[in-house]
Structure 1
Amino acid sequence: MYLIGLTGGIASGKSFVAARLAAYGAVHIDADQLARIVVEPGTPALDAIVDEFGEEMLRPDGTLDRAALGAIIFTDDERRERLNAIVHPAVWQRTRELIAEAEVLDPHAIVVYDVPLLAEAPEDRRLTFDLIVVVQASSETRVKRMVATRGMTRAEALDRIQAQATDAQRLAMADVVIDNDGDRGATLRQLDDLWQRVSAAEAS
């Protein structure tokens, strides 16, 4: 098995890169999706969030009100760390299970662990990655994308960026950097090259 850690700042285009690698044949494990699953109604993580942040974090149907929680954690470092301490271990446990399952199904699988907070999460850094890929786009490009596609104000977009690791912190981890600040064609050419590289490495 060949394990890729895929990361990048919010709105850098990481999801596009992950989807492309999955189309090539990679097994895609999405930490954001797992983070939603581990806080579904009835889970220990959701109970812990309610204990920490209050019943107002729940919608009438008992699901997590992500907007209400986001309004708190993206402007308060301490409370964000408290949330991470609840959610990250649950995601980490499920991630390990999925990686093990992928290897059992195909010992030669190329697995992409798609994780936005790789630079921030000590649990994820315990994984032994064969390659860490960072998707990079300028802060201004990312702000424009969030305003255009997510309905955020410029201030809200900047809050999201500032709540994450810096570009320098992510780039310091990178074995490969995918520049996604330009057109899609340029990004796809980089991904073609990346897939050829990892396919050859896994086969060797």
Structure 2
Amino acid sequence: MSLIIGLTGGIGSGKSAAADLFAGYGVTVVDADIAAREVVEPGTICLAAIAAHFGADILLPNGELNRRALREIIFNDPQAKTWLEDLLHPAIRKLIIQQLGEAPSPYALLVSPLLLETDQHQLTSRILVIDCEESEQIQRAAARDNSDAERIKAIMATQLARTQRLAKADDILHNHGSLEDLVPQVEALHQEYLQLAKAANN
């Protein structure tokens, strides 16, 4: 895969909506959040390591990871968060690389909320940031996750600041309106990326 577009944005910015539009054009979408879930499925080395480190109570009765309990632990314990990241990030990266390598489309999209906060951006050719006002992020994320504004603000504080994210962008999707407003922006970028992929393969 010669052209990989990294799609990122803050919580509630519309990454999934944009990714779905690209997928509608037949573009392979590799989602870092899905990869992060796959590396801790029952039977994986990572899940066994997490259970050994935090205790069997971190597992649900069906053997799956209790994500809510783990989130609470790492939210309040920086050392636990660092340990978990050291375990999971290499495994996630390995799986992402494998999935990108198998992509049949002319270019692929790597969707990650922490693309710029981790070394995942090194896997990409260009950075595409989907952007909206922070007040819109809070409103959308609260409606989607049934969460309170303070919790969302705390998550936003762990992510790159909006100005920093935009400064690192090669391309920007402006998501200040409805989903329909995204469609022509994605279509234009798709055509541009097809041309870039064609040039890269020549």
**Do both share a fold (TM > 0.5)?**
yes
When residues 77 and 137 of structure 1 are mapped into structure 2, their CA distance, relative to the original with a 3 A threshold, is: farther
Contiguous gaps of at least 5 residues in structure 1: none
Deviates more, 1:140-149 or 1:51-60: 51-60
Counterpart contact for 2:121–2:127, Cα < 8 Å: no
Q: Take 1:57 and 1:165, find their aligned partners in 2: how far apart are those partners? A: 29
CA distance 1:146–1:125, change in 2 (3 Å)? closer
Match of 1:134 in 2: 129
Q: Secondary structure at the match of 1:198?
A: helix
Structural mapping, 1:9-48, within 5 Å = 9-48=10-49
| Residue ranges of structure 2 left out of the alignment (5+ in a row) | none
Q: How far apart, CA to CA, are the structure 1 residues paired with 2:158 and 2:58?
A: 20
Match in the other structure for 1:145? 140
When normalised by structure 2's length, the TM-score is: 0.90
Pairing 1:168-183 to 2, within 5 Å after superposition:
168-183=163-178
Contact map agreement 1:132 1:174 (CA 8 A) in 2: yes
Q: Is the 8 A contact 1:74 1:159 kept in 2?
A: no
**CA positional deviation for 1:73:** 2.4
**2:186 is the counterpart of 1:167:** no
Aligned length: 198
What is the one-letter code of the residue matched to 2:114? Answer: L
1:111-126 superposed matches below 5 A: 111-122=108-119, 124-126=120-122
Equivalent-residue separation in structure 1 for 2:132 and 2:162 (angstroms): 9
**Structure 1 CA distance, aligned partners of 2:139 and 2:19?**
21
Could you state the TM-score of these two structures normalised by the residue count of structure 1? 0.89
For residues 73 and 174 of structure 2, what CA distance do their matches in structure 1 show? 31
* 108-117 or 4-13, which deviates more: 108-117
CA distance, structure 2, for counterparts of residue 119 and residue 168 of structure 1:
13
